[in-house]
Amino acid sequence: MNSAHSNSKGFDCVIVGCGPAGGYLGYLISSLGLKCLILEKRVAPRYKPCGGGLTRRAMDLLPFSLDGVIEDMALKAEVGFGEGVEAATVTDHPMIGLVMRDKFDSFLAGKAASAGATILDDTVFETATAAHGGGLDIHTSKGVFKTLMLAGADGVNSRVAKALGLWKNRVGCPAIEAEVYPSSDELLERYRGSVHFDFGAAPKGYGWVFPKADHLSVGVFSTDRKANGLKNALVRYLSLKGLDSSRAKGPRGHMIPLGPRGGPFATKNGLLIGDAAGLADPITGEGIYHALRQAEIAARCISDAIKGPKGDLSTYNRLIDKEFNGELKYARRLGFLLYGLPRLSRALIRRGGERVLACHLDIITGRSSYKKIFFKAINPGNLLPFI
């Protein structure tokens, strides 16, 4: 992926990290005619523990075909507690596309490179300092690069956030995943075209089975930041789903930074997107949609700051706060009902699982918001039948 670079004249924007956030931002700002450098500390293809569930709203954002990257499309979602299925929903249009992250991330990086971005793999961002004559000096393991703007797309432990003084108020929760190669095609077929969510598979969390071309991605996620024993929870979950843990690669874990989170998300010439911004969905842990949507907002703000009279990124704070924090604070409250009151949520899923799935579907297709669902949920008339 490496290509020739120029650091003598400098860049309009340096992006740190080439996951979904960085790759897509690189594509967008290069398409706007800006000179962009993406720094990535690892070398492609990079395995990332991730369900690779691209929700409908995430797929709808991307302006190009995902043919060849999507390994399966879910038309069906099932919810339960591990053993059996409590409720299912089937749709006409795919609700979740399933990708392997090494391929998806490389695909987005390819789009960025085709649009004109320079990508440097195997290059670690160290820090950023004010440059003589304006802009920033970006210090890396491969030398110093000059830029007008800096975007941190470097994930949950973002060094850019620390360098910009934007490291605060973070809630990271654990998730762990294995890639399982079932012993029979029948087992693989059982999961084809569907996604499975099992509440309680991890403390204050859930387990999932997502089908890929030749295997299943199976994981557990907890909204309890101190949860331990997730490896054991995953082994138990595999066995409940009839899957043999000796046929599993991994498991590998990672933290997911859950929103809402008090900002700021930008300084005058630096901003954060994706997991670096720390605003993943506090109920499901979904973060790819957030990364892609924040990349869109960031691209507009970076372009306006460089081409317009204002010259800084302050509007990014307002836009991110409004669109993400405004919504995610209701998601967190709903998460409390779902994970903090297990007897109520069991009853909800047992007796109203279809409605729970319908709400989830409305969120991931962009048809409704957590705010609307929260006010419906706390209406005593809607909750009483489940208590």
Ligand X SMILES: Cc1cc2nc3c(=O)[nH]c(=O)nc-3n(C[C@H](O)[C@H](O)[C@H](O)COP(=O)(O)OP(=O)(O)OC[C@H]3O[C@@H](n4cnc5c(N)ncnc54)[C@H](O)[C@@H]3O)c2cc1C
Distance in Å, CB of 325 to ligand X, minimum: 17
Which H, E and C letters describe 110-133, residue by residue? HHHHHCCCEEECCCCEEEEEECCC
Closest CB to ligand X among residues 176, 359: 176
Closest CB to ligand X among residues 179, 275: 275
Strands 76-80 and 194-199 turn out to be: parallel
Cα–Cα nearest to 17, from 111, 156, 116, 130: 156
Distance in Å, CB of 70 to ligand X, minimum: 13
- Work out the number of other CB atoms within 10 angstroms of the CB of residue 328: 23
Which residue has its beta carbon closest to ligand X? 287
Longest dimension (CA), the chain: 68
Spatial distance between the Cα atoms of 237 and 249, rounded to a whole number of angstroms:
15
Cα–Cα nearest to 230, from 220, 241, 216, 240: 220
Distance in Å, CB of 311 to ligand X, minimum: 26
Distance in Å, CB of 158 to ligand X, minimum: 7
Spatial distance between the Cα atoms of 57 and 277, rounded to a whole number of angstroms:
19
Question: Reading across the β-sheet that carries 72-74, which strands appear in turn?
Answer: 53-55, 96-98, 72-74
Distance in Å, CB of 160 to ligand X, minimum: 8
Closest CB to ligand X among residues 82, 311: 82
Distance in Å, CB of 16 to ligand X, minimum: 5
Strand partners, 54: 97
CB 213 within 8 A of CB 72: yes
Closest CB to ligand X among residues 69, 352: 69
Closest CB to ligand X among residues 98, 313: 98
Closest CB to ligand X among residues 176, 306: 176
Closest CB to ligand X among residues 73, 256: 256
Distance of CA 342 to the CA centre of its chain: 26
Q: Given the rule CB under 6 A, which residues bind ligand X?
A: 16-22, 39-42, 46, 48-53, 124-125, 153-155, 159, 175, 177, 219, 254, 256, 274-276, 280, 285-289, 291
Q: What is the DSSP code (8-state) at residue 136?
A: E
Closest CB to ligand X among residues 153, 356: 153
Distance in Å, CB of 18 to ligand X, minimum: 5
Half-sphere CA count of 357, side-chain side, radius 13 A: 24
Q: Who's near 225: CB < 8 A, 6+ residues apart?
A: 171, 172, 173, 174
Closest CB to ligand X among residues 27, 352: 27
Strand partners, 216: 180, 211
Strand partners, 211: 216
Cα–Cα distances (Å) from 113 to 24, 106, 118, 129, 381, in that order, read 10, 10, 6, 26, 54
Distance in Å, CB of 344 to ligand X, minimum: 26
Distance in Å, CB of 188 to ligand X, minimum: 18
